[in-house]
Structure formats: C-alpha cells, structure tokens
C-alpha cells in the first residue's frame, strides 16, 4: 500500500464519526470476517486507524479500494461540503433514452478524452441518483485523490450537483456531462448550500407545496394557545390568512434546510422623502445576505407573524419558486436577473 493510499485512509478515518465506523466498514465489505472481529470498536479512533492500516496492508489494498470507502461515507453523509447546483439546458431529441450504462460509458470516455490522468468512479445510489467521484491529475501527474470532486446527477432530470471544482476543471466536467447526457449546454443554477438533500428538494420541488386558493383554508384549524379569548377571536382570521399566504409562498410542513441566500442589489434608490437620492442616476449598490439554520422556515415565520408583508410578491419568495439562492437584481428585470456566478471552491 503506497503512501498516498495510506494518507487517504487516515484522512477518511478522521472524517467518519466514531459511531458510523462499524456500519461503514461493513458496507465496504473488504474485510474478512476474522479481520472484522479483530477490530475493537471501543478503542480510540487513532488505535482503530492503525489497526485498519495494518489490515489493509495485509490485504494488499490499493488506492482504488480506499476510494470506495470514501465514496460510501460521502454518499451516507453528503452534508459536509458545499454543493453547487448546475442545470443542463436544451435537450436533444434522444435525451429520454439515456440510461445508466450508456451514461456511465459515455461520461468516462468523454472525460478521459479531455484529460489524460483522471480517476473516475461511478455508483448508482438507491434513489435514482448517480454518484461520480473524480480525482483529477494532469498531463504530468497522477490523479490527486485528496481533492476529489463529487458529482450527483439524477437521470431523467436536468439537474447536476457538484462539490469543490476549480475554474480550470469546470469546463472539462461540463463538456463531459453535456455530451454524455445528450443536452446542449449547462449553466450554473445559482443555488448552493451545505445540505445536498435540501438543495435537491428545493430544486426538484420535492417538498410540500401549497397552491393559492380562493377559499378559506383548512390551515385555520392549527392549534393556538388561547391566552386571551377576545384578542384571539379578532386576530384569528388575520393570523390564519397570514399563515395561508406564508405557506403559499414558502411551502407547508417540513421545508428543505437551506442555510443562506444572497441578493446583490443594483437598483436605484427611490424614496419620496429624499429627493436628492431619488434623482440620482446611478444604482444604489448593496449586498444582502440572509442566514439561518433553516432559512425557508425563518422566512415562512416572518410571513406568518406579519414581519414580512405580502410575501408572495417579495423577492424572498423567489427562493422556493425558482429554486435559487443567489440573485442579482437590477432595475431592468422585475424579478431576479439571469446573471450567473462562478461557484468558488
């Protein structure tokens, strides 16, 4: 087992939390029964790492085997890196006939054509997602397994999610993706976050949405602590209508856990009390960042508690509506413009 494999294994062991070690190693399935029994999971992680290194030496494992372990861990816990969403555009006619084996072969061959030394591992996860792990090298050096890029693509959808990717390598990956999925272009979806599940749900609208209705909603039956009966009676209808509008704008029930949203505003300052600024030709430049442990939940609460008025028309409702969390707002576009930004690593 060479040095890079050893370092990779140590790195993976550091990342896997102690209680997940046994199930992950079992899933990996590369240890014999005897070896598995010899691992005492009550020991310290450092001791276990040493033991595992010895076992891997015994089994003469290579970097390829170790990367399998890393991939299993990342698929189980995708929430530790920043994910960026990309969207494939302009499908060709035969886009629907792309199935897994064809995609795999095409992707590998296209990427290998573009860059000589690259290590690709493709795995289909249970929920229709295809996971790809790419270790990049260049014409002179072997692939660097310590800085891999993970790509998740749901076949039959135009969405792709990627982790750290330098601007040099992005065009190569984009090209390979476009060719193997039978689309014509790929663009940045202006959506990023740590929780893969959250951005996936947001983009693919896999959460409870509420559609606007004209009729009083059943949401009014939500339980409310009756502290003062008269006040509650007066406020009940207003509160119910606010709650209904909030859910229409942001969704009902569990919402995807997005952590932040950034708006770059380049609009003119308009305030009837301030003539000088209103007459100004240039835009008033500012950047607003919203952050929370669950951003959509906070925004929905703002709307239902009245802190935000008319949530449906505000820029904030664009987050679930368009499935984005980065916007550049200029005067020319009534809503978010289609400007994109480069995901930084």
Partner 1 sequence: MERLQSSVVRTPPNSTVVQRRSKSYRQSYRSCLGAPSRLGLTPGLTARRLNSSRRALKSHVITEKVNPEHLALLVKTEWRLSYVTPLHQFRHTQLKRYSRQLSAFIAAEKQQGVAMEVEGSQSGFRVSFSVVQGLAATDDDAETVLIQIYSTPVFARQDEPQKSVWSGWLTCINGNPEYLQSLPKGFTCLPLFGGSGAEVLTSLVKSWFQRTFDCCFGPLEINHTSLQWLAALWTNCHTESNLQHLKMIWTLPVVPPLQVTYTVNPQDAWELWMSVRKDRLERTEEEAEAGSIDIEEVVRFVQGLKSHFYRHFRLDLSAGNLNQVSTTLGSAKSSGKIKISNSRYMITTLTLLTECALLKMPI
Distance CA 250, CA 209 (A): 7
Residue number, 28 or 269, with CB nearest to partner 1: 269
Strands 284-291 and 129-136 come out as: unpaired
Distance CA 127, CA 293 (A): 26
Distance CA 19, CA 25 (A): 11
Does 281 engage in binding with partner 1 (CB under 8 A)?
no
Does 316 engage in binding with partner 1 (CB under 8 A)?
yes
Q: Which residue is it, tokens 């087992």? A: 1
Residue number, 47 or 307, with CB nearest to partner 1: 307
From 139, 141, 276, 332, residue interacting with partner 1 (rule: CB under 8 A) = 276
26-34, 83-91, 156-164, 277-285 -> range binding partner 1 (CB under 8 A): 277-285
CA 223 from centroid of its chain's CA atoms? 34
Residue number, 61 or 299, with CB nearest to partner 1: 299
Residue number, 168 or 285, with CB nearest to partner 1: 285
Question: CA 151, 172, 127 angle in degrees (round to 5)?
Answer: 20
> Which x/- pattern over 205-244 shows residues binding partner 1 (rule: CB under 8 A)?
----------------------------------------
Does 265 engage in binding with partner 1 (CB under 8 A)?
yes
Does 197 engage in binding with partner 1 (CB under 8 A)?
no
At 118, phi and psi to the nearest 5?
-145, 145
Strands 118-124 and 260-267 come out as: unpaired
Does 293 engage in binding with partner 1 (CB under 8 A)?
yes
User: What's the token pair of residue 89?
Assistant: 């555009």
Distance CA 131, CA 121 (A): 8
Q: How many CA atoms lie within 13 A of 292 on its CB side?
A: 16
Count the site residues for partner 1 by CB under 8 A: 40
At 178, phi and psi to the nearest 5?
-60, -45
From 206, 228, 288, 331, residue interacting with partner 1 (rule: CB under 8 A) = 288
> Which x/- pattern over 18-57 shows residues binding partner 1 (rule: CB under 8 A)?
----------------------------------------
Does 291 engage in binding with partner 1 (CB under 8 A)?
yes
Residue number, 3 or 279, with CB nearest to partner 1: 279
Contact 74, 184 (CB under 8 A): no
User: What's the token pair of residue 80?
Assistant: 């530790």
49-57, 84-92, 191-199, 285-293 -> range binding partner 1 (CB under 8 A): 285-293
Residue number, 31 or 261, with CB nearest to partner 1: 261
**Backbone Cα Rg of the chain:** 25
Residues forming contacts to partner 1 in the complex (CB under 8 A) are 263, 265, 267, 269-271, 273-274, 276-277, 280, 282, 284-295, 297-299, 301-302, 305, 307-311, 313-316, 329
């Amino acid at each position: 087992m060479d040095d890079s494999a050893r370092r990779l294994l140590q790195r993976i062991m550091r990342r896997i939390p102690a209680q997940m070690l046994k199930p992950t190693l079992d899933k990996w399935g590369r240890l014999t029964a005897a070896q598995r029994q010899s691992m005492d999971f009550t020991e310290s992680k450092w001791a276990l790492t040493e033991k595992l290194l010895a076992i891997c030496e015994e089994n003469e494992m290579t970097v390829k085997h170790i990367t399998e372990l890393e991939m299993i861990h990342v698929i189980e816990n995708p929430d530790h890196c920043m994910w960026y969403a990309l969207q494939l555009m302009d499908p060709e006619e035969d886009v629907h006939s792309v199935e897994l084996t064809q995609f795999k072969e095409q992707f590998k061959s296209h990427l290998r054509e573009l860059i000589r030394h690259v290590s690709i591992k493709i795995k289909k996860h249970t929920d229709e997602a295809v996971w790809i792990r790419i270790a990049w090298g260049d014409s002179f050096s072997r692939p660097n397994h310590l800085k891999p890029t993970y790509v998740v693509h749901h076949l039959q959808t135009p969405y792709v999610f990627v982790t750290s990717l330098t601007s040099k390598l992005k065009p190569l990956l984009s090209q390979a993706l476009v060719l193997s999925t039978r689309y014509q272009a790929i663009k940045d979806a202006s959506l990023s976050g740590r929780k893969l599940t959250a951005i996936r749900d947001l983009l693919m609208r896999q959460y409870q949405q509420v559609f606007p209705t004209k009729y009083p909603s059943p949401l009014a039956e939500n339980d409310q602590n009756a502290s003062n009966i008269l006040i509650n009676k007066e406020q009940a209808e207003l509160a119910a209508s606010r709650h209904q509008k909030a859910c229409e704008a942001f969704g009902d029930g569990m919402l995807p856990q997005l952590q932040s949203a950034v708006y770059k505003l380049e609009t003119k300052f308009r305030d009837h009390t301030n003539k000088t600024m209103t007459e100004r030709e240039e835009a008033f430049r500012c950047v607003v960042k919203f952050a929370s442990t669950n951003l959509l939940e906070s925004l929905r609460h703002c709307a239902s508690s009245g802190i935000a008025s008319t949530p449906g028309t505000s820029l904030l409702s664009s987050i679930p509506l368009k499935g984005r969390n980065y916007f550049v707002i200029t005067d020319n576009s009534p809503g978010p413009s289609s400007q994109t930004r480069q995901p930084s690593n």
